[in-house]
Amino acid sequence: MSEPAPPVSEFAPLPCASTETSAIKAEKPDGGSSGDAPPLSKNAQKKAKKAELMKARKLERRMREREARKDKKRKRAERIAAGEELSDHEQARKRAKAAAAGPKKPFDARVLIDLGFDDKMSDKEVGSLISQLSYSYSTNRRSRTPFTSILFTSLNGRTKARMDDMNDAGYRRWAATEWWQGEFNDLWVENGQPADPVAIAPQQDAAEVQDAQDPDAAPMSTRARAPKASVVYLTADSSDVLEELKEGETYIIGGICDHNRYKNLCLDKANHYESSHA
C-alpha cells in the first residue's frame, strides 16, 4: 500500500496568482492604473498649460519690477549724492520750513504769456518753449508770493498740438490759468464779443492760498479783463524802464525761443496793439 500524503500545515501559504497576473488585473482597459486620475480633455489641457504660462509670466514680471525698484532706488541715491534731489529727511525739513513760514500771500497781478510766435520757431525750439511754460507755471505755484493768475494767449499751431498730446492735455487743469487762442488785446476789447478761451482752470487753489485772500471778496471773473492802461509788454528792446511791479497790472512776456534771431519782435507787437512796454 502506498503511504498517505502528509497533512497540510495550517501555516502553509495559500496559492496566489503570479506577479504578472496581478499586474494585468490591476490595469484598466484604457491602460491606466486604478490609482490614477482620469486623463484630461484637450480643453482642460489647454487651460492647464495657459495657467502654467501665466504663472511663469507673473514670476518674470515680479522679478522685473523688483529689479526696476532697485534701479530706481540706486539712481535716486546717485541724484541725492550729486545734490540734484532732496533726501526724504531734507524734503521733510523743507515742508516744515514752508509750514513755519505761514500761508502764502498772492501778489494781485497777472502774468500773460504771448504764444503768438509759433511760426517763427523750429520744432526743437517749440519743445524748449513748452518746457519753459511748465517751469514758469510750477515756479509761480511754489512761490510764497505767487501772481494770482497766468494767462496764455495765441495758443495755436505746433505748440497747441504738442501740449494737447502731453498728459492728456494736462495743461488745461493747471490751477489759476487761462488759455486763449485769440490775441492778448482781447483783454480790453469792447466792441463785439471776443472768442471763448480754450480752457479756464480754477482761479483759486484753496490748499495753496490757505485763506490768504478775503473770503468775502467777490469771485473772479470767468474770463480775464483788464484796462488797456494796466497792461505792460516786457521786452528788452524797450527804452522804458520798469522800476517796480504793481498789483492790479498785467505783465506780458513774449513766449518764444529764438536765441535772439529776431530783433524788436515783441516791441513791434506791443506798438502794433498800442500797448505800454518796458
Band of the pLDDT at 250, cuts 50, 70, 90? Answer: very high
The closest alpha carbon to 238, from 271, 205, 200, 198, belongs to 271
CATH of the domain at 227: 3.40.1280.30
- Inside any domain, residue 30: no
* pLDDT mean over 11-16: 51
Do residues 88 and 129 both lie within one domain? no
Last residue of some domain: 79, 95, 111? 95
| pLDDT bracket for residue 118 (50, 70, 90) | very high
| The pLDDT of residue 3 | 57
pLDDT band at 39 (very low <50, low <70, confident <90, very high): confident
222 and 186 within one domain: yes
Domain final position from 32, 60, 95: 95
CA distances from 27 to 16, 17, 21, 41 (A): 18, 15, 10, 21
Per-position b or e across 159-183, b if 16+ CB within 10 A of its CB: bbeebeeeeeeebeebbbbbbbbbb
Provide the domain limits for residue 252: 102-277
Provide the CB-side half-sphere exposure for 137 (13 A, CA): 21
Displacement of CA 66 from its chain's centroid (Å)? 22
Average pLDDT over the chain, rounded to an integer: 79
Percentage of the residues of the chain whose pLDDT score is greater than 70: 74
Give the confidence band of 32 by pLDDT, cuts at 50, 70, 90. Answer: very low
Residue 208 pLDDT: 40
| Global model pTM greater than 0.75 | no
Q: Which of these ranges, 87-91, 123-127, 205-209, has the smallest mean pLDDT?
A: 205-209
CA 36 vs CA 30, 40, 51, 206: distances in Å: 11, 12, 22, 70
- Evaluate whether residue 120 is within a structural domain: yes
Provide the domain count of the chain.
2
Is 28 within a domain?
no
Say yes or no to pLDDT of 269 above 70: yes
Q: Is residue 65 part of a domain?
A: yes
Q: Are residues 169 and 257 in the same domain?
A: yes
Residue 17 resides in a domain: no
